[in-house]
Amino acid sequence: MKRTDLAPFKCDGCQQFGYNIGYSCSEKCDFQLHPPCTEKFGTYIRLRQFKCNFIHLREPPEKPTICAICDDAINAYVYSCVDEGCTNRLHPSCAALPHVLKVREDGVLLDLKKTINKRCYICRERELGGHRTWSYVVRSKPSIQFHITCMREMMVRYWDRDHLLGAPALDDGGKSPARTLDKAKSQRFSVVSIFGAMLGIGESEADLNMRIFLDSLAS
């Protein structure tokens, strides 16, 4: 496999969405992976945010399995804790989340937290699936917090989904087409850039304007 720039894609490893930088098959097939999903099966890792030892597996030991970080289902590649009595399972991309995101253009810092103690700025809820999942918190304004899953869903929603799912264009809800398009573009690119930084990919797009992102969500 070769490292390359990719259009938006669905990772054939973890079944999560990705974009920009990934790995693709050099044999002219459509097999594509996130960078974190390229670790060999059987590789052991220890994550400092967990007091656990994980192994990279092709699929979870049991199903259904929920990611201990984002609370989404894990259907394929997984980091599974091997410690006795521990059931922590992680998406490889969630295991690779950085502890601090620096939005370089604005100098805004987002810190990875093991819970969320305010309503998510996107969905306006604290819990997902009955759990307070991990979140990113704006350091300079801790009341602004985001579920990781909500950030991911926003990225998918506002991306050009013809590349991903062949989905129809965003419904304008009766608003001016030009205004709706401008707003969608603003939300799409800012959220995509943040999520790219979350995954440690797409460095060229990490220079986003955080204020545009927050303003577009609030409007």
Q: Are 150 and 136 in contact (CB under 8 A)?
A: no
Q: Are strands 32-33 and 52-57 parallel, antiparallel or unpaired?
A: unpaired
Q: How many residues does the chain have?
A: 219
- Please determine, for residue 57, whether its predicted confidence score (pLDDT) is greater than 90: yes
If you average pLDDT over residues 150-172, what whole number do you get? Answer: 54
pLDDT of residue 78: 93
pLDDT of residue 205: 37
**15-27 exposure pattern, b = at least 16 Cβ within 10 A, e = fewer:** ebbbbbbbbbeee
Q: Where are the beta strands (DSSP E) in 82-148?
A: 89-90, 100-103, 108-113, 135-138, 145-147
For residue 2, list its beta bridge partners.
24
Q: Give Rg (Cα) of the chain.
A: 18
Summarised one tens digit per residue, pLDDT across range 81-92 is 999 889 899 998
If you average pLDDT over residues 46-64, what whole number do you get? Answer: 87
What percent of the chain has a predicted confidence (pLDDT) above 70? 61
Q: Does the predicted TM-score (pTM) go above 0.85?
A: no
Residue 31 token pair:
């097999």
Summarised one tens digit per residue, pLDDT across range 163-194 is 444 433 333 343 333 333 344 444 444 554 55
- Name the DSSP letter for residue 131: B
